[in-house]
Amino acid sequence: MKSKSENYFDQVFQVVRLIPYGRVTSYGAIANYLGLKSGARMVGYAMNASHSQNDIPAHRVVNRNGMLTGKHHFQYPHQMQDLLEKEGILLQNDKIVNFDKVFWDPTKCLL
């Protein structure tokens, strides 16, 4: 039997798999979509646990300001940035440039 957190992690993973190429979302936006407005930290825990699954684009999940706060959980220090830049996302000082233009809000985009 799965625990509540495992079920929640699976829900987070489902949403993260839907983030379009070249777009990003935030921990809080995912938590809000899943009905847990204060659950951004749980989304972060799910992202940390996602690295063993190759089909979850965890690099597309950043903090509410566009900062790469989860970068330390990738295989090497600049992997998150490298993956985002391959998708055409511009970064400066570990922060996404024009964050509002590449931000994907699951609450608005998923019905």
Backbone angles phi, psi at 102, to 5 degrees: -105, 0
Range of the domain at 36: 4-109
Convert the pLDDT of each residue in 37-58 to its tens digit. 779 999 999 999 898 788 999 9
CATH of the domain at 50: 1.10.10.10
Q: What is the pLDDT of residue 51?
A: 81
- Cβ atoms 103, 23 nearer than 8 A: yes
Domains of the chain: total: 1
Question: Does the pTM of the predicted model rise above 0.85?
Answer: yes
Rg (CA), the chain: 13
- Rounded-to-integer distance, Cα 24 and Cα 104, Å: 6
Query: How many CB atoms lie under 10 A from the CB of residue 95?
Result: 14
Q: At what angle do helices 4-17 and 40-49 cross, to 10 degrees?
A: 80
Q: What is the pLDDT of residue 33?
A: 95
Convert the pLDDT of each residue in 51-99 to its tens digit. 878 899 999 999 999 999 999 999 998 999 999 999 999 999 999 999 9
